Structure formats: C-alpha cells, structure tokens
Amino acid sequence: QEQLVESGGGVVQAGGSLRLSCAASGSILGIVRMGWYRQAPGKSRDLVARITNDGRAEYADSVKDRFTISRDNAKNTVSLQMNSLKPEDTAVYYCKVDRIGRDIWGRGAQVTVSI
C-alpha cells in the first residue's frame, strides 16, 4: 500500500518549536522530491518547503530562517524543524511526494500556534 505517515503536529505557544516528520512507504518508487505544504482556513494550499534527492531545499519567504527541511533518502523520510513559531503559522500541514508517476499527498497534520 502506498501511503505517507505524518507525525509531530500539535499545539505550541508563540516562539516555541515543533518538528514534523513524514515517512513514505517502501512501496513508493521513483521519488525525486519531498516537501511540506500548508493550508489555513479559507486560504489556498501553499508550499512551505521542499527538498530534492540531492539535498537542494526551497523555502517560502515567510518561513526562511525559521524552518529547516531535511530528508533521509534511504528511508524515504522528510522532516520539517519549525522554530520561532508565530500564530500565522497555524494551518494544516501536508506532506507531499513528487515522483515519476502520480504525486502523493499525506492526510495532513494540524499545527496550532497560540499567542
């Protein structure tokens, strides 16, 4: 079965940190890039960060210098370290796998940052 297993969401106070993790099942082949997107109520789903197999990372301007993305190619996992969290970071965060074939989305993890 092809699936993405996400973990690490939750509630944190402003200025705190959370770490999101996503593991792609071993049956998923042809992965070329993995990343995280987020969607707040009433808004579109936007890129937060993504990383290629050779380690090239991209970040949304709103999270640069606060978030760090990393991956383990051997295990097909991707993580997002989120520091200095702000209330505007509150959203559902989705793991996404780009591959040669149909892309795969996780079910999403809620991240809530309180004042």
- Residue 71 CA, chain-centre distance (Å), reads 11
Average pLDDT over residues 91-96: 98
User: Count of CB atoms within 10 A of residue 41's CB?
Assistant: 7
Q: Average model confidence (pLDDT) for the chain? A: 95
Q: What is the pLDDT of residue 74?
A: 84
Distance of alpha carbon 43 from alpha carbon 55, whole angstroms: 29
* Amino acid in the structure at residue 77: T
Distance of alpha carbon 52 from alpha carbon 107, whole angstroms: 21
pLDDT for 46-57, tens place per residue?
999 999 999 999
pLDDT digits (tens, 9 = 90+) for 49-90: 999 999 999 999 999 999 999 998 888 899 999 999 999 999
Dump pLDDT digits (tens) for 12-35: 999 999 999 999 998 898 999 999
